[in-house]
Chains A and B, each alone.
Chain A
Amino acid sequence: MKKRLVSILLSTAMVAAALSGCGGSGETATTTETKTETKADTAATDATATTDAAASADGAYAGELEIMHYSTSEESQGNGGSDGFRTVLAEWDEAHPDITLTQNVLANAEYKTQIATLAAAGDLPDVFLLQGMNTIEWAKQGLILDLTETIKASPYYADYNTAYFTPFTADDKIYGYPCLTGGTCTVVIYDKQMWKDAGYDAFPSTWDEVEKAAEYFNGQGITTVAFGNGGKWQANSCFLSTLGNRYTGPEWFSSMISKGGASFEDPEFVKALAETQRLFTQTEIFNPDYNAVTNEDAREYYISGDAAAFIGGNWDESYIAATLQESDPEKWANIGFAVLPQPADATVAPDSQNIGLGYAVAINAKLADDPAKLEAAIDLAEYITGPAFSSFVAQNYALGGLTKVADVDLSGFDQITQDFYNWSYVDTTTCEIYDSYINSAVWDILNTDLQDLMNGDKTPEEVAANAQVAYEANY
């Protein structure tokens, strides 16, 4: 009998172990993808080896080159930056048959974890995407190559939008080629028809007016503005980063970056926190579950018509536009874009939005020992951030990259794409994306506290003080 019990216990344990294995299947899938992509690349290389031999004459390096990025094939559906990145990467791979390009592709969230782990192990891939806020620390640790001179010598240097290099600069040295597309992190997407019905020709420019409109919309059982902060980072990237600038102005954040004496406890920043708290706890503008749902959930409220507006980033815009174009062309034609409304006691930059390139193509410092390989890596980095990429995204998606594209012909695009292009790059002023700078420890602590702040469980002063302690300890 005892044996039977033991055997049953053991088999249960085995089943449990086998099942818990299921949880890890996501990772296995990623590895498989990596493997298949490598295989496909090799196949592509083989196929072009004979035809494209001339192209390889310039690159002396022959062998393996490893790149890690997060433009997965799923991500590239409808996302111009990812699509462009994959396209130019494939072009480069084809043009260099002697080089076996190994791509390790993960979804963004996994990418961030994995690249942090590899950095900690000192085992970064040859070429990878560097997030702005890691630049200073990784440069200090000697993980990433100083590319200042290389970038200045780049054939495309004259076309570079040099402002985009700032997040990837430490001690006046540049550590990466900003990549993917420059998109806003804070845009108000609203339904023109619904707001017209409420008596507004355009989305209000002040929160006071939004509050008044909320009375109307709540009467209709509609959420005025949908927002999702369930992932904790959204309130920072897609709200506070722009709202803060309206109070502090850009000098404050520059001073924070350069440790020039500014502090999270400066009264202007605390005011921005207080206003955030007021808007979320004392008005009825937002969906009540803003802290429990993610931006992906919240944008569905907008798409389904349960909300009259939505605040999110350019990635939400591309999803909403693509979804509505297919499912509800009439609602799609009514999409309007606006900047975050101005708080009553804020004084700076009422039409600002935070925009930038969050990642840059960086090169492992170890490649300095292998000049031929380094040359290939630089060539790759220049190509995938250069005019080939910018032209592709400009022509296909009306988006901008690192290099300026002269006279983007917008006429071929639909109205919404044109509107968003003009809103993003022409009609608004810009400010910095907070979490492209400083470091992850500070933002992680602030983001956690922001959730409490927006629930009314922590005061603006407490949140500011905690962030300042983290800032002083980690930056």
Chain B
Amino acid sequence: MLKTIKPKGWVIFLYLLVPVAAFVFTVFVPLITAFVYSFFEWKGGPNKTFIGLDNYMTLIQDEVFWQSFGHNIYLVVACILGQIGIAFVLVMVINSKLVKFKTIHRTFGFFPSTIAAVCIGLIWNMIYHYQYGIINWFLEKIGRPDLAKVWLNEPDLVMLLVSIPLIWQYIGYYMVIIMSAIASIDTEVFESAEIDGANAFQRAVYIVLPLIKNTMLVCITLCIAGNMKAFDNIYVMTKGGPGTSSMVMAMYGYQISFSQSNMGYGSCISVAIFVLSLIVIGGSQGLLKRIMREKEG
């Protein structure tokens, strides 16, 4: 940058001070205080008793928490395949020469991710509704009312059913990211591939994917981070039920902290969510990088 228009060091410092201070205050301070509180028995009053690692010992044996962690991992896998996978396929379709009105597709594809998760939850609640829902209505119309179910009350199905709205909502979000990445690929590459006789599938797998792998990595990281803290639309749809069949970690922490007024153990769960998320994100990045290196090598 030109020296003349480059702001002075203290100006940059001042500009940065506000957002950094806000970030420290809203992220680091709660994180550290939660870590401190996780060593206390703190049941909904100002009195706290130091109990060392007791909360963590409880956590290790807490079946509901580990079940919730399993559900988060389920969501992560479902959403990486569903959100990013479907988004990639859709982008390839929209980018093909046969498709008209590309901007419209893009806009409408992005639309669901602009709706608040609570509304999405309510909309899908109606779709799954036993008496008035469209799924059971359709089953009845095709003469199979025996297949109709109280969808959100099926312990074995409920995780799949709550992940569908989540996947549906964010396809457009990843579509936009992937599209912008593809737009930055030199068109000559595609032209020469076409001349060489590569079909659409080969172009997608052997040309596009390797060229946008860094973006894909960002998408996967965003997706994992987003799903490790999933809360709102599941809360609206099932409140973690039936029983704990669709409980996720953040909701369990919320329930312990506020419904059961056990702030100490709730803090302990928050710390665990943070640590587990870091491990999952770090682990998956390491794994992906290794896979890519092996491919290149």
Please tell me if A231 contacts chain B, counting CB pairs below 8 Å. yes
Query: With A4-B184, A120-B45 given, is the CB distance from A449 to B243 under 8 Å?
Result: yes
Contact A19 B47 (CB under 8 A): no
Please give the residue numbers on chain B whose beta carbons come within 8 Å of chain A beta carbons, in ascending order. 42-47, 113-114, 116-118, 128-131, 150-153, 155, 173, 176-177, 180-181, 183-184, 215, 218, 232, 238-244, 255, 258-263
User: Of A117, A143, A230, A474, which contacts B239 at CB under 8 A?
Assistant: A230
Give bound CA distance, A23 to B183, whole Å: 32
User: Of A1, A138, A288, A455, which contacts B243 at CB under 8 A?
Assistant: A455
16 contacts between A and B (CB under 8 A): A4-B183, A16-B173, A19-B114, A22-B116, A116-B44, A122-B45, A137-B261, A143-B45, A230-B239, A232-B241, A289-B131, A291-B153, A292-B152, A292-B153, A306-B131, A441-B260
Contact B153 A117 (CB under 8 A): no
Contact B255 A444 (CB under 8 A): yes
Give bound CA distance, A9 to B183, whole Å: 13
Query: With A19-B114, A292-B153, A448-B244 given, is the CB distance from A8 to B46 under 8 Å?
Result: no
Counting chain A CB atoms within 10 Å of each CB, which of B183, B215, B243, B255 scores highest?
B243
Residues on A with C-beta less than 8 A from B173 are 12, 16
- Report the 6 A-B pairs with minimum CB-CB distance, sorted nearest first: A141-B45, A122-B46, A452-B243, A289-B130, A441-B260, A8-B180
Report the minimal beta-carbon distance from B83 to chain A, rounded to whole angstroms. 13
Report the minimal beta-carbon distance from A319 to chain B, rounded to whole angstroms. 19
Contact A441 B155 (CB under 8 A): no
Please give the residue numbers on chain A whose beta carbons come within 8 Å of chain B beta carbons, in ascending order. 1-2, 4-5, 8-9, 12, 15-16, 19, 22-23, 112-113, 116-117, 119-122, 134, 137-138, 140-143, 230-232, 287-289, 291-293, 301, 306, 439-441, 444-445, 448-449, 451-452, 455, 457-458, 474
Give bound CA distance, A138 to B118, whole Å: 33
User: Of B130, B153, B259, B263, which contacts A455 at CB under 8 A?
Assistant: B153
Residues on B with C-beta less than 8 A from A9 are 177, 180, 218
Residues on B with C-beta less than 8 A from A293 are 129-130
Give bound CA distance, A301 to B130, whole Å: 12
Report the minimal beta-carbon distance from A137 to chain B, rounded to whole angstroms. 6
Report the minimal beta-carbon distance from A21 to chain B, rounded to whole angstroms. 10
Report the minimal beta-carbon distance from A130 to chain B, rounded to whole angstroms. 12
Contact B241 A137 (CB under 8 A): no
Residues on B with C-beta less than 8 A from A113 are 258
Give bound CA distance, A4 to B243, whole Å: 48
User: Of B42, B113, B232, B255, which contacts A16 at CB under 8 A?
Assistant: B113
User: Of B47, B177, B238, B261, which contacts A116 at CB under 8 A?
Assistant: B261
